[in-house]
Amino acid sequence: MVKILLIGCGQLGSRYMQGFFNSNREIMVQILEPNEFSRVNLNNMLCDDVNKKGKKYFFIDSIDEVYEDISFAVIATSSDVRYKILEELVSKKRIKKIILEKVLFQKEEEYYKALKLINENNIRCWVNHTRRMFPFYRRIQDNLKDSKYLSFSISGGSWGMACNALHFLDCIEFLSQSKIESLDLSNVNKALYSSKRKGFLEINGIITGRTNRALFSLTSMENCSPLLIDICLDDMRIIVDENKGLYYIQGENNNWDRFECFEEKICYFQSELSAILLEDILNDSCQLPEYKDAMELHLKFILPLIAHINSFGKNKYDYCPIT
């Protein structure tokens, strides 16, 4: 039986559970969640699944109750408490495989403390940037590998830039097979917006940057509008509409004459990915970025974002108020 620890069963954590229950394996999940509403919501969500053969879950009230032989842990809490939970978990239990959600942490020093904990305890730790698992992006990565020129443009309205930019930045690193070298946040609006999640903030505006292979921009306007991803390479242009499951290709093969439209499932929900993720982790073939690589990217994003936020307004932050 695979024993899993899930810390946090809110909106995202509950989707992990749905996915785990779609696995063919026998599974037992310990869930650490202090919020009673989240517990009730999960019970209601899984009411049709509780009798699935070989699938069990139950709630615990502290890390002290975690089994010693857990296969892996998922920390799906908000960013403001994630480091403290990771620290307590590692200090009390010998868990060798951990999945963390983004944004990893809100403070710079927590990234380095976490790296030390992970290294000293020989933990395999991955960060859940799920686009690396999508078959569509894994396929087009191969199309981009020999291109001398690459550019990416992600644009839309009110798509949650603070919360979601790191997913796209990681996707750019994945598709270009190169690290982001610079980020420019000078054209992010000098205004903060309320996040869907209480206590966190959002931003709009333009972020630009480059890797050693590609240029890119991310644009979020205040008014809602569809988000599109525009990828240009030497002999092809690909425009991706994730929400509609459509992509358009224009290139040398049709003399740049027109866009051809294709339909394909592009994005997958966490509930559709967790069973695959479970197998990948157990087989040491996880497709997600490892902590050290994700840490570098996150710091390149949150540090200039803190500086930008502190450049205007009365409130000054020593942490990044996003999740």
What integer pLDDT is reported at residue 255 of this predicted model? 81
The residue among 181, 132, 35, 1 whose CA lies nearest residue 13 is 35
Predicted confidence (pLDDT) per residue in 242-283, tens digit: 999 999 999 988 788 899 999 999 999 999 999 999 999 999
As a whole number of angstroms, the distance between CA 302 and CA 308 comes to 10
Q: Is the peptide bond before 103 cis (omega within 30 degrees of 0)?
A: yes
- Please give the model's pTM, rounded to 2 decimal places: 0.95
Is residue 318 very low, low, confident or very high in pLDDT (cuts 50, 70, 90)? very high
Average pLDDT on 45-53 reads: 73
Q: What percent of the chain has pLDDT over 90?
A: 89
Amino acid symbol at 272:
E
277 phi/psi in degrees, rounded to 5: -60, -40
Predicted confidence (pLDDT) per residue in 145-179, tens digit: 999 999 999 999 999 999 999 999 999 999 999 99
As a whole number of angstroms, the distance between CA 294 and CA 99 comes to 12
As a whole number of angstroms, the distance between CA 51 and CA 255 comes to 57
What integer pLDDT is reported at residue 245 of this predicted model? 98
What integer pLDDT is reported at residue 192 of this predicted model? 92
Domain positions in the chain:
2-129+272-289, 135-267
Is residue 51 very low, low, confident or very high in pLDDT (cuts 50, 70, 90)? low
The CATH number of 135-267 is: 3.30.360.10
The CATH homologous superfamily of the domain defined by 2-129+272-289: NAD(P)-binding Rossmann-like Domain (3.40.50.720)
Predicted confidence (pLDDT) per residue in 209-231, tens digit: 999 999 999 999 998 899 999 99
Is residue 1 very low, low, confident or very high in pLDDT (cuts 50, 70, 90)? very high
Predicted confidence (pLDDT) per residue in 86-105, tens digit: 999 999 999 999 999 999 99
What integer pLDDT is reported at residue 317 of this predicted model? 93
Average pLDDT, the chain: 95
Neighbour-count burial of 129, counting CB atoms closer than 10 A to its CB (0-12 exposed, 13-18 middle, 19+ buried)? buried
Predicted confidence (pLDDT) per residue in 178-203, tens digit: 999 999 999 999 999 888 777 789 99
Predicted confidence (pLDDT) per residue in 203-214, tens digit: 999 999 999 999
Q: 294, 127 in Cβ contact below 8 A?
A: yes
Query: Per residue in 2-28, is it b (16+ CB within 10 Å) or e — as a string?
Result: bbbbbbbbbebbbbbbbbbbbbeeebb
Average pLDDT on 284-292 reads: 97
Neighbour-count burial of 156, counting CB atoms closer than 10 A to its CB (0-12 exposed, 13-18 middle, 19+ buried)? buried
Residue 29 has pLDDT above 80, yes or no: yes
What integer pLDDT is reported at residue 49 of this predicted model? 66
Lowest mean per-residue pLDDT among 27-36, 86-95, 306-315: 306-315
Average pLDDT on 283-298 reads: 97
More confident residue, 47 or 61: 61
What integer pLDDT is reported at residue 50 of this predicted model? 62
The residue among 201, 177, 179, 200 whose CA lies nearest residue 190 is 201
Residue 305 has pLDDT above 70, yes or no: yes
Helices and strands in the chain, H and E counts: 8, 16
As a whole number of angstroms, the distance between CA 19 and CA 52 comes to 13
What integer pLDDT is reported at residue 112 of this predicted model? 98
